[in-house]
Structures are given as C-alpha cells and as structure tokens.
Structure 1
Amino acid sequence: MSSKGLKSTKRKDNESSEKPDALKSKKPKLSPSNPTDKKHNPTIQNQKPVGGQHGKPKAFGNNDKSVTLSKKERRVQAKELTEARKKRRKPHYTLEQELATLWEKMRRRDIGKEDRLKLISEALQKMKGKMHEIAGSHVSSRVLQTCLKYCSQDEKEVVFKELHPHFLSLASNTYAVHVLQKMLDGASKQQLSSCISSLRGHVASLLRHMVGSVVVDHAYHLGNAAQKQELLGELYSTELQLFKDLNSTSEKRVVDIIAKLGLQKGSVIRHMTAIVQPILEKGIVDHNITHKLLIEYMTVADKTSAAFVIQQLSGPLLIRMVHTRDGSRLAMLCVKHGSAKERKKLIKAMKTEKESHVGSIASDQYGSMVLACIFSIVDDTKLVTKIIVRELEANLKDLVMGKNGRRPLLQLLHPNSSRYFSRDDLASLDLSVPSLCLMDKSETLSETKDSDGKESAEEEKDEQEDTVTEQSGLEENVTIAGSKKDPLLRRQELLVKSGLAERLIDVCVENAEEFLKSNFAKEVMYEVAVGGCDGILLPTLSENLRELYQAIASVAAEPKPEESEKSSQHILEDFHSSRTIRRLVLDSPTFASILFKKALSGKCRSWAQGHCSRILSAFLETQDVQVREMAKEELQVLGDEGALKITGTKKPE
C-alpha cells in the first residue's frame, strides 16, 4: 500500500474518532419511559420475532432493527424456535410430550395399582394406531415398555397385533429393540412361535446387526428346543433355510444333520463361513446363539478356517464369551489349539490397565473351567502366575468358599478329579477341533517315523489302543495339544513355586472351622491337608501342613457345648466337617495322630455318639499301624461295651 493510502486511512480514523457521541451510535437505549420497551409496551410483547442471519433472533416487529433482546428473551425465543422445528420434523411430537407426562406418573413406585392401570389404559388409547411409528422414539419407547410390563393380557394382545406386522423393521431400531424384548417376555406360546417364524430367512442378516442380534438371541433364549433348532438350522445350510420341515430336534449337531440329510460338507462349510466371518469381524460375539454357531462351526471347519476363528477370538473378544457353556468351550479350544502368541494374548486380555476380569471369571460357572484349562495346558507359567495366580491370591477366601471359585484351585491340587468335576466339565476339558487334531497327529507321526519312513502294523495298532484308552478314562489327564512341559512340573511351578500353596495353607489355618463346615470349602481343605494329588505339597510345605493340622486339632479340642448353650454345632458333630475329618484320619496318618493326642485322647467316651462316632471308628479302619495301635486301647473298650459302633473295620495287611 502506498504512503498516500496510509495517510488517507489515518485521516479517516481520526475523523471518525472526532465525531460527537450522538453520531457514533444510532441505536436508542431502552428505558421504562421508552415506548419501544417490551416490558411496558404490550404490542411489542405480542409481536413475533424476526430471524436474522443464521437463524439468530435480532429484533421484534416488522424488520425493525432498532430493538435488541436481553439474554433471557433470546433463550426463550430460541426454545420456541427449537420446539417449532421439532414439531415440523416429528409428526407425533405433541403426542410424545403427552405420553412422557403420563409416564412420569405411571412409573413411580408409590402409585397404586388401579391408578397405574388407568394411566396405562389412557396411554395405550393415545398410542392406538401409531405404536409402530412411535416405538422407535427414545421417549415413547420407554412408555410402551412400561405399559407392556404392567398392562393386562388383553391390552398385551392389542399391542402385539399392532407391532407384529412390523417386527422385522423394529428389530433393527436402537430403541424399539427394547420394546420387542418386553413383548417377547410377556408373549404367549403362540405369539412367541409367530415372532420366531417371522424371523425366518433373516436370522443371519440380523446376527450381523449390532441391534438386531439382540432380538434374535432373546427369541433363542425364550424358545423351546424345536424353536431353537429352527433358528440355528438356517445358519447351517441353505437347504435348512429354505425348507422348514428338514429341521428336527433329534439331530442337533451339524455333523449329524449332514449325515442324516446327505448334505455336501463343503457347501455347509461355505455357507457357515459366509455367516461367521462378518460376525467375528464386527465383534458381535456376546450372544448364546452365536456361541452355539461357532462351536458347531469348529466341528466341521477345515484347519485353515478353524485357525482363522481361533486367531480372531484370542483376545478381548473371548473374555466376553466365557460366561456361557458354549462360549467357555470355545475359549478352551482356543487355549488348547492356539499358538503361544495367541495364548499370551488371551491371558493378557484378562487383566488390563483399567480393570481385571480374573476374579469375575473365576467366580463364574463356566469361566472357572477356562482357568482350569489354562492351568492344565499353558506352558508359560510365569505369565500365568503374574496375571492369574496373583489375582486369585488377593481373594482366596471367597474363592475357596464359592461353588465355582474353588474349581481352578482344585484343578491344581487334584487335576481332572471326577469327585470335584462333573462329567460335562471333564468332557469340556477333553474337547478338541477335529481338523486341528488331525494336523497335530500327522506332525507327531512324521517326527516318530523311522529312517525308512515306514511304521510297522504293530506300532500303529498300539497307538490306536493307547488313543482309545486315553479317551475312555475320565480321571486320566486330557490329551494336551501344543504343550511341551511335563504336567507335574507345570503344577509345581503354578502351585508351589509361585507361593499360591503357602498362601492357601495360611488361609486354611485362619479359617479352619469355617472351611470345614462349608459344603464347598471342605473339599479344598481336604486336598490341601493331604498335600494334594501325588503329595505335591509334602516335600516343601510339610511344616506348614503341620500348622494346619494343629489348627484343626485346636478347634476340635474345644469343649463340647451344653444343650442350652448351643449356638452352632461343634466341629466334630457337624455333618460336613465330621466327614471331612474322617477322610483326613483315613488318608493322613500325621493328622490322625495329632488330632487324637490333642483332642480325643481320654475323651472318646463323650464323643462316641452322633457324627463323631464315624471319626472314632476311622482310627480303627486306617491302614496306618501306628495310628491304629495308638487309638485301639481306648476305642476297643467302647466297641466291646457297645458304646461305639465300629463298622467295616479293615484288617491290617
């Protein structure tokens, strides 16, 4: 810019600054005496605001730019404009406002039943003919849910008839899905069957939808065996999707369905792969029907497809699945057939920087079996100790007392015991993926072949016999795929070297009486006291175990309470504790001698009745000669007098 331009600009600025105040602002100030003041001029109050640039209100009147608004007036005007826009955008906006008012009244807890029913009837009457339109609103959908929860059966019929034709469209709506769940919960058998039939042909597409999958899984959860099979059938093959009559409840597994109907296995695998892959890629794995689909897919998938599923699931996705039966079995398959990297990823996902899932998994019915599987298979004991064992140590008492929390501990103390694990639990630990097992077996055979690359018929026959023997024994160790470490060494590292066993003994000493009287904790107490299976605790923790024996004997040595003073049963008279102590007398000579010397010697006559009599008779039934001879003199007299009933006395070898 030239010097002349600068001078002219400065001249203009100086001139403008020298103008009098009356010329600087042309906008008059509002005052009580000013006729343009809104508060004192009713004509201005009734005038509509005129919108300025970008929809912002400027002034009142017909394009009168001489009047400004206060902040409060601008807020009121903006609210009015927002309401007007909502009325234009939402056809049922006024109705939703009325329903919200009724909802605030009907959902109160202190309202009477009759008053609530009147409000519900009024709300349903207002919604009549428009339910399917307003069910997708975040406000009116809540009203409809409350109505379905408390309304009569006739009113539920009305709602069902109006919503059922629009079931599929509503199933994909974020808010309407909750209405459908309430509707399914209160549906009759015929209505539920009708809803499941309306899903026919759309199950696969809805399972790939984040919202629609919730409706499908809810219907699957409420359906009977035939209805569940109907929903699963179309996920297995195109034929089952097109022809409903092919589904039957007698063949539930996809392998059996293929054999019965003569379907092509390759076609079934391709159909299931097209459904499974998008579900895994989107991470929609929280539903029971999805877990069932995946576990069935693993039984027929080739090794490439099965390895893909394990790779996709190993990590945070699998942590969300372990709370169901099929989900926990999938987790066990991933642990068994996954690589070391995938196992590490899965275990690390159990504990993040924000929270740890180990405690909740250990307390879950099915999640606890996943931890038991990890203890039996994973060779990286340092990682397992750091992430899982340390978390279990922080809450040992609750785990020992819990029905499910004790399972991982019992798996370390006595692996695969049919006394502590059901047949279904042991079957879950023994599961494997057929295609991956064949691959592992072929690799093993290739390593063991002789230099000529041939095996004799006798060796092959012996291998087959060994395989049958391993599969038939329930208490035998499961076939471990991908594990190289000796099972006993793994148990020692996880249980003894990690310090878990020592901490477990301390907890048992602190809570000896409570654990022995507990229906669940008594099993852990027994296994710890005898030193675990194969005496794994005895070489290094014998002194700690002796402290435990002393603690139990001290509680047993307490005087027998009088009938009037009985607040709880004595440890020798309680049903659970007396049987556990009897087992310990039979299986642990050291405990038996400490108990007799400290608590029973000279007092056997007073304990010769009730549940304690079984403990006394165990001293004469034990295989240990020293224990038997120690108690024989006092107990034999009671037996001869008939004061003590001794049954099943075993003769010394």
Structure 2
Amino acid sequence: MAAKSHPQTSQTKKRKQVPGAQTKAPEHYTSSKKPKFVARKPSGPPDRGSTQAFKPPKQKFAKSETGEENKAPMSKRERRLHAKELAEARKKRRKPYYTLEHELASLWEKMRCRNIAKEDRSKFVAEALQKMKGKIPEIAGSHISSRVLQTCVKYCSQAERDAVFEELQSHFLTLACSTYAVHLVKKMLDNASKKQLAGFISSLHGHVASLLRHMVGSVVVQHAYELANATQKQELLMELYSTELQLFKDLVSFKEGRLTDVISKLGLQKGSVLRHMTSVIQPILEKGIVDHSIIHRVLIEYFNVADKCVEKSSATDIIQQLSGPLLVRMMHTRDGSRIAMLCIKHGSAKERKKIIKGMKEHIGKIAHDQFGSLVLVCIFSIVDDTKLIKKVVIRELQKILKELVLDKNGRRLFLQLLHPNCSRYFSPDDLTSFNLSIPSLSAKGEPELSSEAKSSMIEETSDEEAKHETAVTVAEGNKNTSSEILHSVEGGKKDAILRRQELLIDSGLAEGLIDTCIESAGELLRSNFGKEVIYEVATGGSGGFLLPTLDDKLNALHEAIASLAAMASEETEEEHVLNNFHSSRTIRKLVLDCPTFACTLWKNALKGKSQLWAQGHSCKVICAFLESSDSKVLELAKEELQSLIDDGIIKIPDTKAVSK
C-alpha cells in the first residue's frame, strides 16, 4: 500500500513570478536610517578559537642602488645606520657649511686640550682660521663654529685676532643679537685694543636703546659699558636721555656726568627729556631686563629729574613696576641698591610689603652682597611692619648667624641695630645712600592724601601696632601734612627706639647674637670683622640698649672672654687673645668703654699676672686700666700696676700724665 505523502515533507510549490512585479525589500535596507545594531570589532586580541585573521608585523626592506626593495629584512643596526645616513643627507642639504663645521669641530677638540704644547695649539688655531677665512660672519652664529672662534680668538696671535676683528667689524650689531654669536662678540671685546673698543662703542651710536630692549643684545651693551672709560660710558648713556642726543653725535662730546647739568648746559626741554626717557625705560621694564648697571644708572637719573608737573606721577609708576621680585635682581650694583632704597622710602605700605616678600628666598645671598646688605639695613631703619620683617628677614638671618657675623657685609645688618648709622662701620658713601630721596616725591612737595588713600593705607598695614598708629594719624590727618603719614621719606610713624626694640630684642635676634658670641668668642675676637660685632654686643649696643633685658647673658659673655684671657699661652693652639693683633685691641676698647667687663677681666684673668702681660700687644690691655675713666676700674689695678710703673716696665699714658 502506497504511503501517503505528509504535507510538511511534500515538495513546496514555487510561486510564479509576475513579469512587472518587484519583490519588496526589507524595511531596514530601504530606510535612510542606520540600523539599530552595528557589529563591533573585538577590542582585545583574538581568542585561540577565533577565526579572526592574524596580521604579522610589517618588515622593513633595504633598498638597492636601483631603488627597488630587496626581499631581505634589515637588522636593527642596519636600520639605525640607514636613518643616520638619511639625517646626514638632510643636514648637508639644509646647511651649506655642514662639512666645514665637522672639520672645525675635530680641530677644536685638539686645540682646547689643556696638556697640549703651545706650538701644536698655534698650528691647529692657524689651520682653523684658514678654513674659516672669508666665511666668519656667516658661520659665527652656529653653536659649533662660534665656540671654535672663541677658542681661536683666545689663543691666536694679535695679527690673527686683528684679521678676525676686521672681518667681523661690519657685522657686530647683527651678531650681538644672536644667541650663540653674542659670546664671540664679548670675547672679541675682551681682547680688543683701545682703538678697536672705541670703534665698537662708536658703532653702537643710535642703537643703544633698541639693543637694551633685546634680551641678548642688552648683554653686549652692558659688557661694552663695563669695559669703557668714563667718557665712553657717557656716550652710551647720552642717547638714552634725549632724542637730540640720539640723533646728533656732536652734542655728546662733553664731560658733564649728571643729567641735570646736561639739560641746563644744552638748554633741553625737561618735558621732552622725560617723555623720551619714559619711552626708553618702559619697554625695558616690561620685558624684565633690569640686571644691567647701565639701566640702573638711567633709572637713577630719571628719578632725579622726574617732575609731577611735566609727567604726572612718573616716578611713582616706576616704583610700582619695580616693587616685588624684579627689584631683587637690581641690588647687586651701587645704583641698583640706591634704586631699591628709594622704592622702600617712597613706596606705600603695600609696595614695601611686595618688596620684602620678593626677597623671601634670597635673604642669605642679599645679606652677603656689598650693596644688597645696605638695602636690608634700609628696611630695618624705615619699615614699620616689624612682624613682616621678623617673619621674612630675621628668621632667615638667624639660620646663618655665625656666618654673617664673620662676613664683611653681613655683619653690618647687626651693627646697624646695635649702633645705628655709625661712621665706624658705614662709609660716607653708604651714609649718603641712606639719605637719598626723590625730589618730586619728597615730603615738602606732596599734597594731602585723599580719604581713600588713607583708608587703603590702614588696610595694607599688617602690623597691628602700626595699624593702630596709622589709624590715629588718619583721624588727626585733616590738619597734618603728608610728612606725618606712615610712608614718609624720613621713615614710618613708629618711634625708632620702639622699632629697634621689636627687631633686635623681641624677635630673639639679640639673644641669638649673644649665644653666638659666647660659643665663638675666640674666633670672633681674632677676626677682622667679627671683633666689631662682639665689641658692640659686649658693651650692650649704643646707649646700653641690651643691658636692662639681657644683663645675665652679657655677664656670661664677659666671663667667656675673661676665661680665654686667663688661659696660659701653652694651653692654646692658636695665638693667645691678649697677644693677637685684633683681639688685644678689641679687649682694650672693652676695658675702656665697659667697666663691668673690665672688673670681670681683672679679677678672672689679670690679677697677679699683670707683669706677665706687660710686653707686646697685651701691654695695651694692661695700660687701658690706667686710662679708664671709671674710678672703680682704676682702683682695682692701681696698686699692682704702680710697681710696674716704678720699675719702668710700663709707662703712664700721656693723657693721665697731663691730667696729674
């Protein structure tokens, strides 16, 4: 029996296609919208069972001479050498003197050796100069060739040096602005003759102002200024003062040093001079090019002639620009330190605060500097914000106290607090710097401050006591002039003795000084500079300033010095303090000026031993007891010393003999 066909297993009938009909495509193919689900490529490496194809890394093949790639892959060394060859080829195409520079570099390595003979070095120098002849201006800007030229100029003969100078003479202004060639120009100036230097300075006429605005060119002008004589320095400065002096070279040939004298002699208009100087100075300050002494000289002259009537608040604007870290870079020169002191004197409380905070990380370096230390002395004498000074300045000084006490410049900070403005420790030029002021900002010519300025002045003062005093001054300020306000030229409103008390005693500086003197008494007494500090500390400062509060400490210092004097000569490795040149004279001054110390020294060290120390440098110490104006000191030593006088071992000082 035939099996019945199941409907599911039977063959399906095909649909008949109508000739004009079209099969309707799925919606997601015909729609303009993108499908909702898009297949993503696997992010990580394919699994072991994955069918994703693995692509091996591309191999680099070397090219044959015909340009076709060889099938053999290049090794790492071959690829490195090939890249080096390509780089060399690019440099040769870009640099026309590339081969010459390589030859000069090999010669330079030979000529700059220290253990080379002079004849061999001269031979290498001559060969290098011969290779560079005629091409020096073009290759002087290269970092390699400029170094070779500097070495050649240093070791070559004078004739060869003159030939190089002659070839570069017309290109100096261009080379002065080159980063590498500037060192060559400085080396040429160092080895130039007087005639060559004069010619170079003459070629700078009309370009000094533009070069000073250039970070690299300003270095060349400063170097020429340092090497120039007084007349040549004046030539460089003159064209910075006025347009007429910049255009007409004949006007510069006179010896007046001060700008005020130049204005009066030539009849220049003061307003025109100030406008020209402002146009020169402002771009220099905006770029921060303030390290050079020639710029400091120009700023000093500008402060001297600045006039509010012609250029409103011109000096004040300069002070505002300089206040801060910029001023720290100017303190290493004499004029720069004077500018800093003028900014401190005439600046507001806010500007003084900026100046002091700008010194924060440089206090130690400033204290060791000849002129920078004077700026710190000025701060101690003028600024009323003692809390800020203690926090920024004195805290840093206490870390290097002994180092500063023995330093020629650093000791002056402490001597100013111990004995203010003493002519023994400050030269007449230093004392003149302390008294300088800006004429247009002096207290006599200043108008009364506005109420807004007064209120801002109170807010800017961080010291509570100074703030209170300022507020009292402002309250009574309707009848007072600006000379009585906090930031007057003469200093602050705070009493000088009170300021000295807060800086020296309240800060703990005096106690630290006494401890340092006790620990290093012998070293300080024998030191040419430390002896002055230990003398001022042992006497208690001018007027016995330290005596009321630190009497016990000072007595301990007297005991320490007396114990050194009591030691026998054989017990000390160094020269005895009574026989040393510096220490014997310091102890003598202490005996004359400090009766308390004299009594301690006699009782602990000299009583019964005066005959032993009656010769040499120590004799001056013994005789000081006879010269003392204190009756108690005289009575102590009179009986013992009288026998030495009778025996002719010591002589009565002339002053005592005359008085008797």
Distance 2:85 2:233 in 1: 52
Superposed CA offset, 1:254-313 (max 9, x none): 111112222111111111111000000000011111111111111111351111111111
Indicate the SS of the match to 2:436: coil
Establish whether residue 497 from structure 1 lines up as the match of residue 506 from structure 2. yes
Distance 2:277 2:600 in 1: 63
1:602 alignment partner in structure 2: 608
Contact 2:524 2:534 in 1 (8 A): yes
Contact 1:625 1:652 in 2 (8 A): no
1:510 alignment partner in structure 2: 519
Distance 2:439 2:54 in 1: 90
- What value does the CA root-mean-square deviation take over the aligned residues? 3.2
**C-alpha displacement of 1:78:** 2.7
1:127 alignment partner in structure 2: 132
Contact 2:346 2:488 in 1 (8 A): no
Establish whether residue 283 from structure 1 lines up as the match of residue 288 from structure 2. yes
Superposed CA offset, 1:166-188 (max 9, x none): 01111111111000000000000
Distance 1:519 1:594 in 2: 24
Distance 2:59 2:437 in 1: 86
Contact 1:517 1:577 in 2 (8 A): yes
2:240 alignment partner in structure 1: 235
2:635 alignment partner in structure 1: 629
2:455 alignment partner in structure 1: none
1:545 alignment partner in structure 2: 554
1:55 alignment partner in structure 2: none
Contact 1:171 1:212 in 2 (8 A): yes
Corresponding pairs, count: 589
Distance 1:416 1:260 in 2: 37
Alpha carbons of structure 1 residues 339 and 65: separation in structure 2 relative to 1, 3 Å: farther
Q: Structure 2 residue aligned with 1:364, among 356, 369, 374? A: 369
Q: Structure 1 residue aligned with 2:318, among 309, 331, 346? A: 309
Aligned-partner residue type, residue 422 of structure 1: S
Contact 1:337 1:482 in 2 (8 A): no
Distance 2:113 2:57 in 1: 53
1:611 alignment partner in structure 2: 617
**C-alpha displacement of 1:640:** 2.5
Q: What runs of 5+ residues in structure 2 fail to find an aligned partner?
A: 1-26, 450-472
Establish whether residue 486 from structure 1 lines up as the match of residue 492 from structure 2. no
Larger gyration radius, structure 1 or structure 2? 2
**C-alpha displacement of 1:28:** 11
**TM-score of the pair, normalised by structure 1:** 0.84
Contact 2:525 2:583 in 1 (8 A): yes
Distance 2:252 2:56 in 1: 85
Establish whether residue 251 from structure 1 lines up as the match of residue 260 from structure 2. no
Q: Structure 1 residue aligned with 2:435, among 420, 430, 446? A: 430
Contact 2:518 2:557 in 1 (8 A): yes
1:470 alignment partner in structure 2: none
Q: Structure 2 residue aligned with 1:410, among 406, 410, 415? A: 415
**C-alpha displacement of 1:528:** 0.5
Q: Structure 2 residue aligned with 1:578, among 553, 573, 584? A: 584
Contact 2:332 2:370 in 1 (8 A): yes
Distance 1:341 1:430 in 2: 22
**TM-score of the pair, normalised by structure 2:** 0.83
**C-alpha displacement of 1:118:** 1.1
Superposed CA offset, 1:80-136 (max 9, x none): 222222222211111111111111222222222221111111111111101011111
Q: Structure 1 residue aligned with 2:425, among 420, 424, 428? A: 420
Alpha carbons of structure 1 residues 440 and 494: separation in structure 2 relative to 1, 3 Å: farther
Indicate the SS of the match to 2:291: coil
Q: What runs of 5+ residues in structure 1 fail to find an aligned partner?
A: 31-36, 39-43, 48-60, 456-462, 464-477
Superposed CA offset, 1:592-614 (max 9, x none): 00000011111111111122222
Establish whether residue 164 from structure 1 lines up as the match of residue 164 from structure 2. no
Q: Structure 1 residue aligned with 2:200, among 195, 203, 216? A: 195
Distance 1:582 1:25 in 2: 96
Contact 2:443 2:488 in 1 (8 A): no
Alpha carbons of structure 1 residues 361 and 277: separation in structure 2 relative to 1, 3 Å: same
Indicate the SS of the match to 2:543: helix
1:325 alignment partner in structure 2: 334
Matches for 1:255-270 after TM superposition, within 5 Å = 255-270=260-275
Alpha carbons of structure 1 residues 27 and 318: separation in structure 2 relative to 1, 3 Å: closer
Superposed CA offset, 1:143-186 (max 9, x none): 11111111111111011001111011111111110000000000
Contact 1:28 1:66 in 2 (8 A): no
Q: Structure 1 residue aligned with 2:654, among 645, 648, 652? A: 648
1:112 alignment partner in structure 2: 117
Matches for 1:386-465 after TM superposition, within 5 Å = 386-438=391-443, 442-443=447-448
Alpha carbons of structure 1 residues 187 and 87: separation in structure 2 relative to 1, 3 Å: same
Q: Structure 1 residue aligned with 2:157, among 152, 157, 161? A: 152
The percent of aligned pairs where both chains have the same amino acid is 63
Indicate the SS of the match to 2:528: coil
Aligned-partner residue type, residue 553 of structure 2: N
2:277 alignment partner in structure 1: 272
Indicate the SS of the match to 2:588: helix
Q: Which runs of 4+ in 1 moved over 6 A?
A: 3-7, 23-30, 450-455
